[in-house]
Amino acid sequence: MIKYINEKIIENYLFIESSAVINNIEDWVEMDNIKSELIFKSGLRNVIVDDRKVTHKEDYFLICEVVKNMIDNLPIELRTLRLAVIVNDESKKIGNFWETYSANRGFPFRVFTDINEGIAFINK
């Protein structure tokens, strides 16, 4: 269940903040589709997604399904973004898996728990 997704442009990047409780692949797909639309609407290539208020089960199979959906259904242009995803401390382990699994399938992004590290990555 998505509680909210907000976006704003800060300097040279799009900042997307979301809050949600993810229970299944449908919840992930809905959230990814909304974020994808916001990214394309902005026209920016640098994106920070603040998912620290997103909770989900530590389900590696579900992450594999999410990545497959991203590859199969989201625009290929998303693969060329400089994308930093900020997660809460509880999600860091599965976030690292998600980052590696996605990168190995041609959908690179970086996962951080510290927003300042994410900003530094975007500004490199």
pTM for the model:
0.93
Q: What is the pLDDT of residues 81-92, one digit of tens each?
A: 999 999 999 999
Cα 117 from Cα 92, distance rounded (Å): 14
What pLDDT sits at residue 67? 92
Write the CATH number for 33.
3.30.750.24
What pLDDT sits at residue 78? 87
pLDDT less than 50: residues of the chain: none
Helix spans in the chain (H) = 25-42, 60-73, 92-103, 115-122
- Tally the domains of the chain: 1
Domain hosting residue 46, numbered range = 2-122
Query: b/e for 75-84, b at 16 or more Cβ within 10 A?
Result: eeebbebbbb
